[in-house]
Structure 1
Amino acid sequence: MSMPQSPVQWRQVKAWVFDLDGTLLDSRPDILAAASDTLVDYGHAPLPAGYQLPNLFGTAGELVRDVFVERGYPAPTDLVRLRAEFEAHYAAQNPSQARLYDGVPQWLDWARQQGVALGICTNKLERLARDGMQQLDIAEGFGAITGSDTYGVGKPSPEPLLRTLVQLGVAPQETLFFGDTHADAACAQAAGVRFAWHSVGYGDARVQALPQVLRYAGYGELLHQVGAQQPALSL
């Protein structure tokens, strides 16, 4: 059952914080390849073509552990090592197959022109987040980029999002958090931040049971919304 939504008053929003994978960029091919290479490191067969990852919302160690479990292999107990091996494979992919969702550059450009503060709150390592944003040429103008290692905790804990807001110098009620999974929605709810759901990302039905002020399938429709409110905007 979907949570009811109320219209977003864009003039009241001073900061936009984004999840990264499944929200601004589709990195599923890179994640899949790195998980497959990690399985091979442990003596298992690579993942089959078309494999659907069971966990695209947790930290890297949790993500790969759940692949082991789904494939029927003993789950490694050393998540630090597991995460490090996955992240090494992820970082080594050249070229990356990650791509921005349609309309992302235009949406971020609009925000920069209006003086909206921009931040990233992701469950991947901060270094990998920064590298990926540089490669895709979207890093400019972000006042805060936090990963699961920045403060030692990942979503759905509200802590990384709240600390991102401290870096940006904004209050929770002035912020809109864009994400795609229930971990993002739960993080926003616990932090007292309004949530915008990217419904074509990596989330599942669990996100629909959590509060959201906006559901969108593409950034073009968001540009249309802010364009319609443009005369009234006072950011």
Structure 2
Amino acid sequence: MLFDLDGTLADTEAISTGALRGAWARAQQAGEAPLEELPAMAGQPLETILARLGLPARLAELYRQEAATLTSRARLFDAALTWLTILRARQVPVGVITGKQRARATGLLQQLCIADLIGAVVDGSGHERPQPAAYAGPLLHGTDDRGRFGSGARRGRRAGTGHVCGARVYRP
């Protein structure tokens, strides 16, 4: 079973908004950082988010630096530990897919005290499409002919997956 990290297992919205605010200030951008649009773009690669917001690509490294200082703001969702523990007891393999760099993702899992319940972390490195849905395929039996697992139920069904479920829990 695969879980997205941000917004599914962990509430990391405070990290995202704080990192953008910090990167914005460090880059001496005019006005306020466009924080209200950020939660709706959760799960997309940082570079894609910056481009969609019309922001300079140079903010990416500043954002990552800021985010690294804010990891203590992450919170495990109430039911996440319960479900991960149940899945472990039932010997269901569990993985996390994320657009984060691997070191950041594994560090966050350790901080949240769930690293031992996660068997695999799949990040975007080395894949043609830098998006978690594009490279989860190697961990699944039901993928399309290009090894992709889509977030949409129809796409998952066409790929032969029995059940596809997704949820976004960030507040709009």
TM-score by length of 2: 0.78
Identity of aligned residues (%): 25
Instruction: Give the equivalent residue in structure 1 for 2:166.
Output: 197
**Greater alpha carbon shift after TM alignment, 39-48 vs 137-146:** 39-48
Unaligned runs of 5+ in 2: 144-149
Cα separation, 2, equivalents of 1:150 and 1:87: 19
Change (3 A) 1:185 1:19: farther
Question: CA shift at 1:47, angstroms?
Answer: 3.4
Question: CA-to-partner distance for each residue in 1:93-137, whole Å, 9 max, x for gaps?
Answer: 2x6211111111110000000100011111122211111110000
Q: What is the CA distance between 1:46 and its match in structure 2? A: 4.5
Partner of 1:18: 3
**Deviation by residue 1:129-163 (Cα, 9 ceiling, x = unmatched):** 111110000111322101122546322653x1113
Structure 2 counterpart of 1:161: 136
Change (3 A) 1:121 1:64: same
Gaps of 5+ in 1: 1-15, 70-74, 174-182, 205-235
**Using the alignment, how far apart are the partners of 2:72 and 2:106 within structure 1?**
14
TM superposition shift of 1:87:
0.9
- Code of the residue aligned with 1:162 in structure 2: it is G
Instruction: Please give the alpha-carbon distance, in whole angstroms, between the structure 1 residues aligned to 2:82 and 2:170.
Output: 22
Whole-angstrom CA distance in 2 between matches of 1:83 and 1:191: 34
Q: Given the alignment, which residue of 84, 94, 111 partners 1:135?
A: 111
Task: From the two aligned structures, give the one with the greater strand fraction.
Answer: 1
Is the 2:102–2:121 Cα contact (8 Å) retained in structure 1?
yes
Cα distance in 1 for residues equivalent to 2:126 and 2:4: 14
AA matched with 1:40: A
- Would you say 1:66 and 2:41 are equivalent positions? no
Letter in 2 for 1:113: A
Return closer, same or farther for 1:21/1:140 CA change in 2, 3 Å cut-off.
same
**RMSD of aligned alpha carbons:** 2.9
CA spacing shift, 1:150–1:142, aligned 2, 3 Å = farther
CA distance in structure 1 between the partners assigned to 2:96 and 2:126 by the alignment: 12
Distance 2:128 2:103 in 1: 14
8 A Cα contact 2:133 2:151, kept in partner: no
Return the letter of the residue paired with 1:161.
A
Cα separation, 2, equivalents of 1:149 and 1:156: 10
Normalising by structure 1, what TM-score? 0.59
Asked whether the equivalents of residues 38 and 86 of structure 1 are also in contact (C-alpha less than 8 Å), the reply is yes
Of 25, 36, 44, which residue of structure 1 is paired with 2:21? 36
Partners of 1:104 and 1:155 in 2: how far apart? 22
1:115 to 79, 83, 91: 91
Which structure exhibits the higher relative contact order, with contacts defined as CA atoms closer than 8 Å and separated by 6 or more residues? 1
Distance apart, 1:55 and its partner CA: 2.1
